[in-house]
Every structure is written in C-alpha cells, then in structure tokens.
Amino acid sequence: MTSIPEALLWCLSAGTAAAVVLAALSLRARGQRAGLRTRLSAAEEQNSATLHSNTELSARLRATEAEIRHLAGTRLPDLTLALAHPHVPVPGLKDARFAGTETDHALSGVLEQVSDAITKERSRVDAAAQSTLRGATTTIQALLYQLQTALQEMQHRYDDPGVAQDLLNADFLNEQALRRIQATGVVCGAWPGLTREDSYLAELVVGATSRLRGYERVQVSNQLRDPVAVVARAVEPIAIVVTELLANALHHSHRELPVTITLQQGNRGASVIVDDYGVGMHDDEIKAAMELLSGDDDLLLTQLGDPPRSGFAAAGQLVRQYGFGVHVEPSPYGGVRAVVYIPGDPLLTVLDESTQPMSVMAPLPHRSGMPERSHSALPTGATTPAPPAAAPAASAAPAAPSAVSHEAPAQPAEGELPRRRRRKPVSELDESAGRTDSLPPRSPEETGSRWAALQRGTESGRAAAQSDPSEPPRSPEGNAQS
C-alpha cells in the first residue's frame, strides 16, 4: 500500500519537471522567434535603404546625363551665338538641384574654357583678316590718289568743255571710292593716308562736304569768333569723321531736306554740329553708335554687320588715336544731331589771315558788321574746293578794282583776347552786304555745265588772243598740239 503513493509522487515530480522543461523550451523558442523577427526586420530595412539609395543614385545619374546633354545641345551653341551677339541669353542649369555643387562648377568650367578658346580664335582670325584688308586698302588707296592727281592734271590740260565735264564726273566718282577705301582701312588700323598743313576749320568742313553725293543739300553756318584752324596731323582724321557723320545724315534723310552744319567756338575748343531732318535713331541704335564712336573697345569686323558699316567704326578709331570727341543724340528737328568736339589743346591753332587767307569757298563767320557769305561746295577731292563755277559770268565783265578795305582792329574788352579781322575786297563787301538770301543748291549736272562753260570761255579767250598767223593753231583737245 505504501508503494502506490510513492509511485504517484514520483509521477507527479516527473510531470512537474517535464512541464518545467517544456515551459523553458517554449520560452526559449519564443525568444529565438523574436530575435529572428528582429533580424528579419533589420534586414528588410537595410534592403529598403539600399534599394532607395540605388534609386537615388540612378535618378542622379540620369539627371547628370540630362545636364550634360543640355550643356552640349543648348548651352554651348547659345554661348557661341552670344559671343557674336551679346543680346542672346545663355541658359543656366536644367536641374536646379545641381546649383552650387561640384557638377555645377565642372560645367561652368567647361563653358569658360570654350568661351575663352572661341574668343581667342575669333580675335586671331579677325586680326588676320584686318591685316589682309589693311594691306589691300593701303595699296588701293595709293592708286586712287595717283588717279586723283592724274584727273586733276587733265582738268588743267584739256580745254574741251565736254572733256572737262567728264573729267570732273570721273574725279567725283574716284572720290567716292577713295572715301570708302579710306574708312575701311582706318577700321583695320591703317593710317588715314594724307599729311596736310594747318587748315581752317571752316575750310576743312567744306572740303569734307564736297566728298559726298548730295553735297548741295549741306548748309554751313560759321559761328567761330576767331580764325580757328586744325593742326596738320589732325586735319585728315577730323575731315574723315565729319564726312562719315555727314554721309549718315544725308543717307537717312529725304533728298529734298537740308543738312545743317554749325561751327561753334567754346572756351576750351571748337565744335562741329551736324543736324539732319531724317528718320532719327532709336535708343538702342544711339547706344550702339556711341559704343562705336567712343573707340573704347577693340573692334571686330564681324561686329560691323552684313554688309559692314564702317563709318562710325572708323570715327571711333580716330577718336581714340587723336583725342577729340564725337557724340550723337536725337536732334530737336526730329532727326539725329552729331557733335564733333575738338579740344583747343593740342588740336587747334589760330592762323594769321593776312599771311594765309581763307578760301573763298569757306563761309565767313558771323562777326560784328560782317554778314555770312553763302557758298556751295563743289565735288572735288581736295580739302579746299575749287573756285565757284559762276566765274565765267564774271570773266566777261571788267575786272573789279583791287582796293582792299583795311578794318581797324576792334578794341578788345577787358580780359578778352584780341581778335584778328578778316580783310576783304571792297567789291566783295558790297556784294555780301546786298545779298539777303543764300544761293539755291546746285545739282551735279548744273555744276558740271558751269565748269564746261568756264572751259569754253577760257578756250575762246585764248583763241582771240592769238594774233600771229604764223603761230600754229591750238588743238581743241589740249593746250598745245602734240
């Protein structure tokens, strides 16, 4: 009987131990499962992060490739175009996320290197083109000067009126070609090509006027107080600039409208003011013209347009070399006003009119008791135009007395420099005093016909003076038979 309870006790003990063991095993299994789940979650998170990182890297790689394609396909072509036309914008980055990054710095470096390379190559090619043009224009200019000299000699040699008129027309055409070649050469860095003496500013302006078609439309008003002259080295450069400004005024105004030139004298220099009544210029055109006329920047031939316009560019080159100034602005008459300012030191001087009289073609200044002399420029290549074509009419009349009216010099006011007075023949004073209206403009045909009349008068006078029958007759085609 005692063995049965002991057996039950041992069974209960064994069951309890087994239960404890099973419970411990269950707890251990649950811990292992929890650890496994934790490791699986960490692995999943790591895999997700890796996948996300790979996705970001792929997207950034695609964006970088797109940015490089944008650089090659859009930014570099626009940069090349902007170097020739500054108003063309160059686009920035396609993706703003690259701003300030290493990729942005690398792409900007590529743009800078390409820009520098294109600029240097363009400058090298343009310098070679300018050198070629400079050599060609210098040679052509020398030949045209020789042709001009030959034409002027033939004008004095031949007496036939038709030949004289043809020579005059040929001389004028030669002057047009010479002006274009001269401006092109100056743009390319060539020397203007002429050395002159000190010349009155009024003579210089009239000579510049005679180089242009439509010269009969130009009206010159001389407001100078003194016989102001330009020093020799600056005569031709200033004549070129005034000619180009006049050419612009004549070209952009109607052929029936006048172009006025006013000569003004200030405390520190003199000014040549050109006003036209043409179509005018817009603000951007005036800005571009001032950039050319300032002569501050180096000029490329490709900046002159197609076809090239070298007038303002040549003026800018001469402004930089000789130290005078040019300014353009809207004219109060609706067109364009151009002002050439010539500083008194060192480009101006005052000549003695008694030893170096001013040309009769130059307009007289508006001085006290001295009315302005009207004039008409003639088509000649010289700085001082030829005598007026109305001379044949005066040749038939008796010669005017050669008495000269000597004006007493006016007493200068206190602190004012003495001024020289122009001495004029009495007949010229009487003629200018009775003249109230300016002469009407002359056409090239009328000028040529008057020159022809002058030649006919000269020939008839020489024929009448021949009294010796033994002397051989003169050839109508020249001053003497060959």
What pLDDT score does 194 carry? Answer: 77
What pLDDT score does 2 carry? Answer: 56
What pLDDT score does 359 carry? Answer: 86
Residue-level length of the chain: 482
Strand extents, DSSP E, 344-430? 348-350, 404-405, 424-425
What pLDDT score does 300 carry? Answer: 86
Q: Are 385 and 378 in contact (CB under 8 A)?
A: yes
Among 445, 148, 188, which residue's Cα sits nearest to residue 300? 188
What pLDDT score does 74 carry? Answer: 92
What pLDDT score does 317 carry? Answer: 93
Q: Are 271 and 342 in contact (CB under 8 A)?
A: yes
Q: What confidence tens digit (pLDDT) does each residue in 422-441 have?
A: 444 433 434 444 444 444 55
Question: The whole model's pTM is what?
Answer: 0.65
Q: Are 281 and 336 in contact (CB under 8 A)?
A: yes
What string of DSSP letters covers 246-307? Answer: HHHHHHTS-TTS-EEEEEEE-SSEEEEEEEE-S----HHHHHHHHHHHH--S---GGGGTTT
For residues 152 and 451, give the distance between their C-alpha atoms in angstroms, rounded to a whole number.
13
Q: Is 200 exposed, middle or buried (0-12, 13-18, 19+ CB in 10 A)?
A: buried
What pLDDT score does 460 carry? Answer: 61
Residues of the chain with pLDDT under 70: 1-3, 8-9, 367-482
For residues 396 and 449, give the distance between their C-alpha atoms in angstroms, rounded to a whole number.
17
Residue type, 139: T
What pLDDT score does 464 carry? Answer: 59
